[in-house]
Structures are given as C-alpha cells and as structure tokens.
Amino acid sequence: MHIAELDTPSLVIDLDIMERNLRRVADYTKAHGLRLRPHTKTHKVPAVGRKQLDSGAVGLTVAKVGEAEVMLGANPPDLLLAYPVFGHSKLERLMEVAKKTQVTVALDNLEAAKELSDAAKAAKVEIGVLAEVDAGLNRVGVSPGPELMELARGLCSLPNLRFEGIDFYPGHIRDTAERGMEQIGKLSELVQCMLDDFRRDGIEVRVVSGGSTPSLFQSHQVKGVTEIRPGTYVYNDVNTVASGACTFEDCAVSILVTVVSTARPHQIIVDGGSKTFSSDTAAPPSVHGRVVEAPECAFYRENEEHGYVDITDARRGFHVGDRLHIIPSHVCVAVNLHEYVYGKRGEQVEAVWKVEGRGKLQ
C-alpha cells in the first residue's frame, strides 16, 4: 500500500529510522557492557518488542500485567514488570505469564512482596524481584540506606522469590544540560553508596537497573548500573529532541493529518486533537507536536478532535485537504490512542501493527 492510501489521522512509523534507533542503542549498550531491557510502553506492539530483542535487548520491560500478557507475543526470554503489582487477580494472571517466561517484579514494600511470594508458591514458580529505590523522582521506591536494606533483607527471606538487585527510574533527569549532568553525577554516587551497603550486609546484587531515554547515552557514567530500560528511544518525539538525546532526524514517528478547516484567519485546523496526540506538550515552547512540512508553525492548542496550528509565520499556503505529518510531543501516550500504527519504508506501507497493549490498564 502506498502511504497516499492511508486515511487520516494515522500514526506512521518510518522503519528505517526506527531500525537505526534500535541499532544505535544496542551498539551503545554493547560498547559499555550494559544490558538493554527496553520498556515496551512506548510501542505496545509485540512485533516491535521482537525487533528490540533481535537487535540485542536481553529482555523486555512492561508496566502492567496486561502488557506482560500481550508482550508474550514477542517471545521474550524474560519480562520485567517495573510496577508495584498488587491484588489477587493480577497476581494469578502474572503467575500464568511466569509459567511461559522468566518474570521479575520491581517492588517497594513487603506487603506486596508477601502477596507475590504466596502467589508464586501456589503456582510453583520462582519470581525474580528487584528492590525499587527512589533515586530522586519522588514517585515510588524506598529511600537508599536503612529503608532499602530492610526491604532487600525482607525480599531475600520470602519463599519463591529470587532477589536480583535494585532498580530505579531516573525520570527526574530530563536532559543532559548542566543540571542534568550534575544529577547524573549525584546518581552515580548514590548507586555506589547503595552497593557499599549491600556489600557490608553480604547481599549479592546482580542487577542494578536504571536508565530512561533522556539520559540514555550517559548511562555508562553511572558507575554500577548493569542494565537500562529506555522506552521512547525506539520512536523518539519532540520531548526527546528537547532533552538532547536525539535530533528530529531520529524521530521515527509522525501522525499523518488532514487540514479540515482554514475558515479562521492565521490558523488551520487539522483532524487530530487530544484524542489523537494526547494533551501532553513539549516545553519550551508548549506545543503538541512539530509540523514536519512547516516547523515554523506552532501546533499550539487542541480540542478532542481538533488541532489548532498557528500559521502566522508560515512560509507556505494551506488548503482544506492538505496532508501534513506532525511529530507528537509525547509519543508513548499518542501511540496509546491508536488502534493501529503503520510502518512505512520510503512511500510504501510495509507493516500494519495492531497496538495490542493499548488500554491494557490492569
């Protein structure tokens, strides 16, 4: 199928760019002796997860049990559930996943760990566990120091759990500008302190799992880290460019839209809004995406099905029916709004992928 045959809005992936992104990160992690366990929340497509594995990832990361079930379709050697799973129904489903592939769970409390241990015992499986540490984001995770050691000792003592090490999500490091580099330095010191604590307690730490896309290529500077879990790097987006981790030439994703109204002065309306792109913005400036054919125009506002593009500074004209490509500001939430994504090479659509993990919230 030629790309001109796609109706709009459609989320399109440039396969050449995606494959280059996969290779670059695989090469980087290999060069620095890091294990790559990509977070699949960005694409939610088993076929893309498989490509990540084929290009050098050692396993895959998911946020929800429903995503783990879907990502079994990638036939992964292991799955990391980087989320504090809780509740009988979810644990039962997770045990079914664990009968098919190796499962590791990141946890920050012993109540959840005990439930997990009971479920694993009943299902006669062994589950890997990581102690979740707060490395500065202030979201989940215990504090490094006594809290972490208490959690780790608890995890080590529970039957059918295999203590693997620690994980953290350095989501507070948004870029690699001066402040970002300072935070990376602090993170490195923090990891060393934690590893010292574990050595003193005689607890073996095989895994130190960190790494998000914005600071991806600085991961080797955080001494002690053994693996990283970037997600966005597979497609990239306006926010990734803003973080300094890639350029617009590395953005594999765009949403193909049609101009549906030019009725108001200095403005065009395209047929995608917050139900197509999400409401997330890239800052600065606060935009919902970058118009590839007219980057001088600001996609400054959305309603649910309307995208407002300010064409005051446009160096071209626009007509109803014109098709434009817009790189979303935040690709992970944009992909999650689409039933299908279309993989193109040049002008040909080579792949139609169902976003199988979309809406798998439980």
Residues in touch with its own copies (CB under 8 A) = 7-10, 41, 63-64, 83-87, 89-90, 108-109, 111-112, 132, 134, 138-142, 171, 258, 260-264, 267, 269, 271-272, 274-276, 278-280, 303-306, 308, 319-321, 332-333, 336-339, 358-359, 361-362
Cβ(267)–Cβ(309) below 8 Å? yes
CB of 278 to its own copies, least distance (A): 6
When the beta carbons of 50 and 323 are compared against its own copies, the nearer one is 323
Specify the 3-state DSSP secondary structure of 327. strand
Distances (CA, A) of 116 to 282, 322, 360: 38, 54, 20
Query: Smallest distance, Å, CB 7 to its own copies?
Result: 5
Are 260 and 228 within 8 A, CB to CB?
no
Query: Which of 185, 359 has the CB closer to its own copies?
Result: 359
Cα–Cα distance measured from residue 131 to residue 222, given in angstroms and rounded to the nearest whole number: 18
Element (H or E) spanning 70, and its range? helix 65-71
| Distance separating alpha carbons of residues 209 and 95, to the nearest angstrom | 23
CB-nearer residue toward its own copies: 104 or 274: 274
CB of residue 52 vs its own copies: minimum separation in angstroms?
18
Of 29 and 281, nearer to its own copies (C-beta) is 281
Q: Using alpha carbons, select from 150, 79, 139 the residue that is nearest to residue 110.
A: 150
Burial of 311 (0-12, 13-18, 19+ CB in 10 A): buried
Instruction: Indicate the residue among 219 and 278 with the shorter CB distance to its own copies.
Output: 278
CB of 77 to its own copies, least distance (A): 24
SS3 324: strand
CB of 162 to its own copies, least distance (A): 22
**C-beta closer to its own copies: residue 33 or 284:** 284
The terminus-to-terminus CA distance of the chain in angstroms comes to 35
Distance from the Cα of residue 46 to its chain's centroid: 14
N residues, the chain: 362
Backbone phi and psi for residue 41, each to the nearest 5 degrees, phi listed first = -60, -25
Q: Are 273 and 305 in contact (CB under 8 A)?
A: yes
Q: Nearer Cβ to its own copies, position 34 or 335?
A: 335
Nearest distance, CB of residue 9 and its own copies, angstroms: 5
Return the number of the residue (41 or 344) whose C-beta is nearest its own copies: 41
Could you tell me the smallest distance in angstroms from the CB atom of residue 23 to its own copies? Answer: 26
Helices and strands (DSSP H and E) totals, the chain: 9, 17
In the complex, minimum distance from the CB of residue 150 to its own copies, in angstroms, rounded to a whole number: 12
